[in-house]
A = this chain, B = another copy of it.
Amino acid sequence: MRKKRKGCDVPEATIHRLPLYLEKLKLLQAIGVEDVSSRQLAESLDIKASQLRHDFHYFGGFSRPGRPYQVEKLVPALEKIIGIDEPVPTIIVGAGHLGQALANYQNLALQGFPVCGIFDVNPRLIGLEIRGQPIRDMEEMPRVVKEKNALIGVITVPAQYAQEVADRMVEAGIVGIFNFAPTDLKLPEGVALRNERMAVGLMALSFRVKCILESRLQHSPADEVGPPGESAAEGDGNDQVS
């Protein structure tokens, strides 16, 4: 209880980069690249090569010391680490616009998260089909979760219902919750949670925008947009300015 022991001993920041590595590697794989060095891969992601090696270091060697990484080996290795070496059945609760958008987003399935159920309580929505899946009554959720062995649940209901939905998901056996509702969910031990709060992201962006506008006023009241220059993602990998 002293140590964070957040499931594993891998740092937060590293975990967030793994998907990026995987994504880029799949892209390389698709165009037939066989080998890739830490420097090449890192540069294409705007991070330092040492960081990439450092990250990989948590999981033991991916290649013989002296040679670059082999894309064909690395992709499945990363998939296994992330836990998507086999599909992770996923359900969506809340078939509003966002829920439907997600259910329609076929990339989810391609990336290892096949949607095996969409649920709502609104009778108007129940029965509608999205990509072959009917929107089901919320009551059916536990049964479907068990049948399909769903592990991850996405919450796209209004904030006031989110906690209840989460509770029922956990009870049904869901192990990871992806929450789009702007609420702090309380979950029992042994359940992972990720909040995807878009308003927060927008406000962080707004802060930066404000700073930019201010600096424009200060530095040159009648200036045009600055000269172009590359910029790199940092932080949790979602933000940048310059």
Interface residues of A (CB under 8 A from B): 4-8, 10, 12-13, 15-16, 18-20, 22-23, 45-46, 81-84, 88, 90, 96-98, 100-102, 104-105, 107-108, 111-113, 151-152, 170, 175-178, 182, 184, 186-213, 215-216, 225-231, 233-242
Contacts and interface: CB of A to CB of B under 8 A. Distances in A.
A242 B195 contact: no
A211 B8 contact: yes
Given A7-B215, A88-B209, A209-B88, A188 B229 contact: yes
How often does this chain occur in the complex, in copies?
2
A225 B46 CA distance: 41
A240 B198 CA distance: 17
A237 B192 contact: no
Give the one of A112, A205, A213, A239 with max B CB within 10 A.
A205
A45 B184 contact: yes
A6 B208 CA distance: 8
B6 A207 contact: no
Given A111-B199, A190-B212, A207 B83 contact: yes
User: Mostly helix, strand, loop or mixed at chain A's interface?
Assistant: mixed
A236 B235 contact: yes
Contacts of A104: 97
17 contacts: A6-B208, A7-B207, A7-B211, A7-B242, A8-B207, A13-B235, A83-B211, A97-B97, A111-B203, A151-B209, A176-B212, A177-B205, A192-B208, A192-B209, A194-B239, A195-B238, A236-B236
B108 A199 contact: yes
Contact of A184 (B202, B233, B234): B233
A5 B189 CA distance: 39
Nearest to A24: B184
A2 to B, nearest CB: 13
